[in-house]
Amino acid sequence: MNPSTDEPQLKILCEDINKTFIQKGHIEVPVIRDINLQVAENEFLVVLGPGQCGKSTLLRIIAGLERPDTGYVALDGFPITGPGPDRGVVFQGYMLFAWRTVLGNVEMGLKLRGVPARERRSVARHYIRLVGLEDFENHYPHQLSGGMKQRVGIARAYANSPKVMLLDEPFGQLDAQTRMFMQHETVRIWEQEKRTVIFVTNNIDEALFLADRIILMEGKLPGRIKQEYVVNLPRPRDHEDPGLLKLRTTIAAATELVL
Amino acid sequence: MSSSIANETVAATSGQEGFSFYRLVTNIYFLYAVSLCTFFLLWDRVAAWQVFGDSLARPHAVAGKLYDLSQVKFAGTNLAGHIWASTRRVLVGFTLASAIAVPLGLFMALNKYVNAVVKPIFDLFKPMPPIAWVSISILWFGVGEFSKIFIIAIGTFVPCLLNSYNGIRLIEPELYDVIRVLGGNRKDEILQVSFPASFPAIFAGLQISLSIAWTCLLAAELMNARNGMGFLIKRGMDTHQPALVLGGMVLIALMAWLSSLLISRIESRLCPWKRSIDNL
């Protein structure tokens, strides 16, 4: 809000977020409780926690796809009331439009916002190049591998020029090797096109490799923030780095379930 | 890299050039030929030995009968006329039914109020086999064209509606989330996700409907008709000409296959993104 200070600008603010789901009409399942979170501009925040700890729900609340029962969520000081193109989302299950080519998928956001065809084509091509799929822009999703599909998902979110990128376990369906490669790619892409990133994962090594800061969630519902860790290491990181391994031990000790 | 692997495969197989019994009996096309020859030979022998008395014509007799029909008029119409009479009934009934059932199914899936109004009535009629309508439609509409078209339309309506309805109901809800986070509204969700995603299911419904349409046509024509392929079969039965009966059957199968091929062609034109699955 105040560009004259050296303090990093606050991008996302969550205050006292609570969310309870109603199952089968009457059973109340508290999903997240008392979440307070601040994310600075261009910060890479990783939310780390096992399955079923409410971390995806938190992301969906920030995306505007769910409304919190109580609490306040804001982007650049304006309350979030619904989904919008200022927040790009990458989904775990890729969620590509099977009936559109890579190019058609990536330019969808621009199309929905009424950008003329020529302009959206050139923007889409820029991001397709950024994720390294320039030779595949006329392919359909079913012709792509899992890693390539998620590249399309990332390019599609980027093409809308969001202020914040929200990634919900984006590499959860990939094999270990592809996953590691995609983590390198994520760092490369993020360094070329800096954005505020909130990245949800259940993988401690992925978190350590990517994050400026790690939010560790408690291992069971309702999801609470258990601990926060700043990862102050230069990128690209080495999984074998002693500083990283030390932090890994600390985080693993704080985690009740083996992640 | 993949091309070098392919080259190695080619080199490996070309090393085993030359005739071998094993290679012959594992050749798919050879097996196709064996399978078909055996079938026709068996048919011919069963007919020649009169296993079913004189009620089974030999294959060449059926082919000869079809050739004769194409040369002279039969019951006032030539062969093309009979084929066209049946095809027209299927075409009109099928088009009429699908033009109503497909949009109705989409509306039902997209709007719960439309669904609440239409579904109870639809569920009432759904389990009724279409052939059950033959008699009542003759009572209502007589024996003319309309009662035949009516039966076909009734029979094709149900699968058309069910498939377009399910096509939308089975869409991954997160795909709508994608449209919303990209800045789209409800209209975009329907135009960019609901409609294109339901296309393959709609076409599957059309394929099922089409095969039911030919079944209904045959039922209607066997009951009462003055032309058409069902009429040929019926006349063949009444005058004890097994070659004519089988000829009519072959023709109907041929037309049903051709029309299903046409729908497949239209589908692959409209949905180039669909993973191709081998047709059975």
Judged by a CB distance cut-off of 8 A, whether residue B143 touches chain A is no
pLDDT at A73 over 80: yes
What average pLDDT does the segment A64-86 reach?
A: 93
Chain A residues within 8 Å of chain B (Cβ atoms) = 63-65, 82-85, 87-89, 91, 93, 95, 97-101, 108-109, 112-113, 140-142, 156, 160
The CA distance from B191 to the nearest CA of chain A, in Å, is 11
Written as one letter, the residue type at B240 is: H
B185 in the same domain as B242: yes
Judged by a CB distance cut-off of 8 A, whether residue B190 touches chain A is no
In a domain, B226, yes or no: yes
- What dihedral do alpha carbons B143, B149, B152, B158 form, nearest 10°? -120
| Nearest C-alpha in A relative to B195 | A99
Asked if A108 lies within 8 A of B182 by C-beta distance, the reply is yes
B222 in the same domain as B110: yes
A189 in the same domain as A254: yes
The CA distance from B187 to the nearest CA of chain A, in Å, is 10
pLDDT at B278 over 70: no
What average pLDDT does the segment A95-117 reach?
A: 95
Asked if A63 lies within 8 A of B181 by C-beta distance, the reply is yes
Work out the pLDDT band at B280, boundaries 50, 70, 90: very low
For residue A9, CA distances in Å to A5, A39, A47, A259 come to 9, 9, 20, 32
- What dihedral do alpha carbons B249, B221, B70, B81 form, nearest 10°? -140
Using DSSP's 3-state secondary structure scheme, residue A253 falls into helix
For B101-114, the pLDDT digits (tens) are 999 999 999 999 99
Single out the residue in B10, B33, B55 at which a domain terminates.
Answer: B55
Residue to mutate among A59, A75, A112, with most B CBs inside 10 A, is A112
In a domain, A10, yes or no: yes
Query: CA-CA distance, A245 to A243, in Å (whole number)?
Result: 6
In a domain, B117, yes or no: yes
Asked if A108 lies within 8 A of B181 by C-beta distance, the reply is no
A138 in the same domain as A62: no
In a domain, B279, yes or no: no
User: How many domains is chain A partitioned into structurally?
Assistant: 2
- Residue B141's domain is classified under what CATH number? 1.10.3720.10
Only one residue has tokens 């950024």, namely A130
Partner residue opposite B182 with nearest CB, options A93, A99, A109: A109
The dihedral of CA B133, B137, B143, B148: what is its sign? negative
B178 in the same domain as B85: yes
Partner residue opposite A91 with nearest CB, options B174, B197, B199: B174
B51 in the same domain as B71: no
Asked if B182 lies within 8 A of A98 by C-beta distance, the reply is no
Work out the pLDDT band at B16, boundaries 50, 70, 90: low
In a domain, B244, yes or no: yes
Single out the residue in A161, A191, A216 at which a domain terminates.
Answer: A161
Asked if A89 lies within 8 A of B177 by C-beta distance, the reply is yes
Single out the residue in A161, A176, A196 at which a domain terminates.
Answer: A161
CB A188 within 8 A of CB A214: no
In a domain, B280, yes or no: no
Work out the pLDDT band at B17, boundaries 50, 70, 90: low
pLDDT at B161 over 60: yes
B76 in the same domain as B35: no
Tell me, what's the pLDDT at A201? 94
Judged by a CB distance cut-off of 8 A, whether residue B8 touches chain A is no
pLDDT at B96 over 80: yes
User: How many domains is chain B partitioned into structurally?
Assistant: 2
Asked if B177 lies within 8 A of A156 by C-beta distance, the reply is no
Judged by a CB distance cut-off of 8 A, whether residue B269 touches chain A is no
pTM comes to 0.84
A134 in the same domain as A247: no
Phi and psi (nearest 5°) for B242? -55, -30
Asked if A160 lies within 8 A of B182 by C-beta distance, the reply is yes
Asked if A91 lies within 8 A of B183 by C-beta distance, the reply is no
| Nearest C-alpha in A relative to B180 | A83
B82 in the same domain as B175: yes
- Mean pLDDT taken over chain B: 89
Work out the pLDDT band at B2, boundaries 50, 70, 90: very low
Q: And the tokens for B98?
A: 């699908």
Q: Contacts of residue A156 in chain B, CB cutoff 8 Å?
A: 182
| Nearest C-alpha in B relative to A164 | B181
B74 in the same domain as B48: no
For B165-221, the pLDDT digits (tens) are 999 999 999 999 999 999 999 999 999 999 999 999 999 999 999 999 999 999 999
A173 in the same domain as A135: no
Complex ipTM? 0.90
For A27-56, the pLDDT digits (tens) are 888 899 999 999 999 999 999 988 888 899
Judged by a CB distance cut-off of 8 A, whether residue B273 touches chain A is yes
Q: Contacts of residue A141 in chain B, CB cutoff 8 Å?
A: 273
Query: CA-CA distance, A174 to B192, in Å (whole number)?
Result: 27
| Nearest C-alpha in B relative to A102 | B273
Show contacts of B119-126: CB within 8 Å, 24+ apart: B122/B158, B122/B161, B125/B158, B126/B158, B126/B162
Q: And the tokens for B240?
A: 């004890």
Q: Contacts of residue B271 in chain A, CB cutoff 8 Å?
A: 99
Judged by a CB distance cut-off of 8 A, whether residue B272 touches chain A is yes
B114 in the same domain as B42: no
A125 in the same domain as A235: no
A182 in the same domain as A64: yes
Asked if A140 lies within 8 A of B181 by C-beta distance, the reply is no
CB A182 within 8 A of CB A158: no
**What one-character-per-residue DSSP string does B243-278 give?**
HHHHHHHHHHHHHHHHHHHHHHHHHHHH-TTSPP--
Judged by a CB distance cut-off of 8 A, whether residue B172 touches chain A is yes
B82 in the same domain as B25: no
- Residue A223's domain is classified under what CATH number? 3.40.50.300
Tell me, what DSSP letter sits at residue A132? Answer: T
Partner residue opposite A95 with nearest CB, options B172, B199, B272: B172
Query: CA-CA distance, A63 to B156, in Å (whole number)?
Result: 44
Partner residue opposite B180 with nearest CB, options A83, A156, A160: A83
Size of interface A-B (CB pairs under 8 A): 68
Residue to mutate among A56, A60, A92, A95, with most B CBs inside 10 A, is A95
For residue B55, CA distances in Å to A75, A228, B241 come to 83, 87, 8
CB A109 within 8 A of CB A156: yes
For residue A202, CA distances in Å to A90, A252, A253, B11 come to 16, 12, 15, 47
> Where do the H-state alpha helices sit in chain A?
55-63, 102-106, 108-112, 117-130, 146-159, 176-192, 204-210, 242-254
Single out the residue in B34, B55, B76 at which a domain terminates.
Answer: B55
Work out the pLDDT band at A68, boundaries 50, 70, 90: very high
B241 in the same domain as B129: yes
Asked if B181 lies within 8 A of A83 by C-beta distance, the reply is yes
In a domain, B248, yes or no: yes
CB A56 within 8 A of CB A200: yes
Q: Which of residues 194-223 of B touch A (CB under 8 A)?
A: 196-197, 199
For A194-234, the pLDDT digits (tens) are 999 999 999 999 999 999 999 999 878 888 898 899 999 98
CB B156 within 8 A of CB B94: yes
pLDDT at B12 over 50: no
- Structural domain span for residue B98: 67-270
Asked if A97 lies within 8 A of B196 by C-beta distance, the reply is yes
In a domain, A156, yes or no: yes
What average pLDDT does the segment A59-80 reach?
A: 94
For A144-189, the pLDDT digits (tens) are 999 999 999 999 999 999 999 999 999 999 999 999 999 999 999 9
For B218-259, the pLDDT digits (tens) are 999 998 889 999 999 999 999 999 999 999 999 999 999 999
- Structural domain span for residue A9: 1-86+168-259
Query: CA-CA distance, B235 to A249, in Å (whole number)?
Result: 87
